[in-house]
Amino acid sequence: MSKRLVLIGHPVAHSLSAAMQQAALDAAGIDARYELLDVPLPELADVIEGLRGDEFLGANVTIPHKERVVPMVDRLTDDAQSTGAVNTITREGRRLVGHNTDVPAFKVALDELVGRQKMPRTAVVLGAGGGARAVVHGLITAGFLRVIVFNRHLHRAEGLVRFFGKGAAHMELKAMPWHESIIEVELSKAKVLVNASSVGLGSDESPIPGELLPPELMVMDLVYRPRVTRLLADAEAANAAATMNGELMLLHQGAAAFELWTGQTAPLELMRAQLDAALAADAAGQDTDAAVPAAAGDPA
Ligand code: NDP
């Protein structure tokens, strides 16, 4: 019987995971289908429960469910535990294990963004959802000493900061209200900016006006569709030191998930090529995938 893997999110049509995961499964000779499953919140618990069935190899979890899935699985790995977010689920018999492959993937992306320079110590993070948790965790473990988190709903950023509590006691990890004047001041003190909000996903919007961006900033946008987001275009125009979209992180979180589900080494170059082709087709407007949705708006 063909096995199933599902990407659980709401919306999911923007995702390019199916393109790279299906190619990797086929190349490895694994009889499994990777499907996109649009799951609104009221159905989430039932869908997660259903993953216990033998036909499932596992799942990916994406916006806006990464945190909500945490209490629905039976065991968390260290990375899932230390972020309070799950993006990959595997099965141990009927038990579900929650992993967070965004964590190692963000580290790969951050190292690439910084390149040969000394790892910076100061960052601004926009967004406080599941993706932001992997980002903040990654910045803390990379030795950042000042990380300011802005979120549209301040209480969520405050919750994130509280969550990291003791692990960030040696540094300044702060939540601040989303006011452009405050963001501008903090950006002027920071070396790295990470957009972990979903603003810009499938749209030409930026979470912040380009005028707020100082020169010489290293800017990472977790959004990868479109490839050059408005934020990244504005950062380039402001003479950013480096810019990167979410493609590399997407590739590496996917490769790590593939290895967890299959026990096989991920065909990284094949997955990279699939992703590249899907993004190029998207940019050329030739996508056969479902239409890119408008920015997720309030996912709650
Ligand atoms: P969540 O749904 O958990 O969080 C969404 C975040 O976006 C929240 O901080 C939310 O703020 C914010 N947001 C949404 N709409 C707006 C808006 N109109 N104005 C300001 N803020 C807004 O999603 P994730 O954290 O899982 O994902 C966030 C983004 O990061 C997505 O675009 C996702 O695709 C991307 N991502 C990419 C990865 C990669 O591998 N490249 C990995 C992980 C994430 P609020 O709390 O106030 O609603």
Q: Which of 113, 125, 180, 197 to mutate to test the pocket of ligand 1 (most atoms within 8 A of CB)?
A: 197
Annotated catalytic sites, by residue?
Answer: 66
Instruction: Express each pLDDT in 148-191 by its tens digit.
Output: 999 999 999 999 999 999 889 999 999 999 999 999 999 999 99
Q: Has residue 292 got a pLDDT over 80? A: no
- According to the model, what pLDDT value does residue 298 have? 33
Which atom of ligand 1 has the smallest separation from the CA of 254?
A: 40
Q: How remote is the CA of residue 27 from the centroid of ligand 1, in Å? A: 32
Residue 288, Cβ neighbours under 10 Å: how many?
A: 7
Nearest to 67 by CA among 92, 37, 44: 44
- Which residues have any ligand 1 atom within 6 Å of their CB? 62-64, 66, 102, 105, 127-132, 151-153, 156, 196-199, 201, 207, 222-224, 246, 249-250, 253, 295-300
- Probe target for ligand 1 pocket from 12, 14, 63, with the most ligand atoms within 8 Å of CB: 63
Q: For the chain, what percent of residues have pLDDT higher than 90?
A: 91
> What's the burial of 277, exposed, middle or buried (CB within 10 Å: 0-12/13-18/19+)?
middle
Phi, psi for residue 27 in degrees, rounded to 5: -65, -30
Among protein residues, the one with the nearest Cα to ligand 1's atom 41 is 246
3-state secondary structure of 291: coil
Atom of ligand 1 nearest to the CA of 247: 41
d(CA 120, CA 292): 34
Going by CA atoms, what residue is nearest to atom 7 of ligand 1? 197
Cβ-contact 61, 8 below 8 angstroms: yes
pLDDT value of residue 271 = 98
| Tens digit of each residue's pLDDT (9 = 90 or more) over 149-161 | 999 999 999 999 9
d(C-alpha 199, C-alpha 152), whole Å: 11
Q: Please tell me the distance between residue 127's alpha carbon and the centre of ligand 1 in angstroms.
A: 6
291 pLDDT more than 80: no
Instruction: Please tell me the number of Cα atoms within 13 Å of 157 on its side-chain side.
Output: 20
In the reported structure, the alpha carbon of residue 63 is separated from the centroid of ligand 1 by a whole-number distance in angstroms of 7
Q: Ligand 1: which residue has its CA nearest to atom 42?
A: 131
Enter the pTM of the model: 0.94
pLDDT tier, 300 (very low <50, low <70, confident <90, very high otherwise): very low
Q: Over range 236-261, report the average pLDDT.
A: 98
How many Å apart are CA 287 and CA 276, to the nearest integer? 12
Q: How far is the CA of 281 from the centre of ligand 1 (A)?
A: 24
Residue 285: pLDDT band by 50, 70, 90 thresholds? Answer: confident
Higher pLDDT, 40 or 289: 40
Residue nearest to atom 12 of ligand 1 (CA): 197
Using one digit for the tens of pLDDT, what is the confidence trace for 74-131? 999 999 999 999 999 999 999 999 999 999 999 999 999 999 999 999 999 999 999 9
How far apart are the C-alpha atoms of 281 and 278, rounded to whole Å? Answer: 5
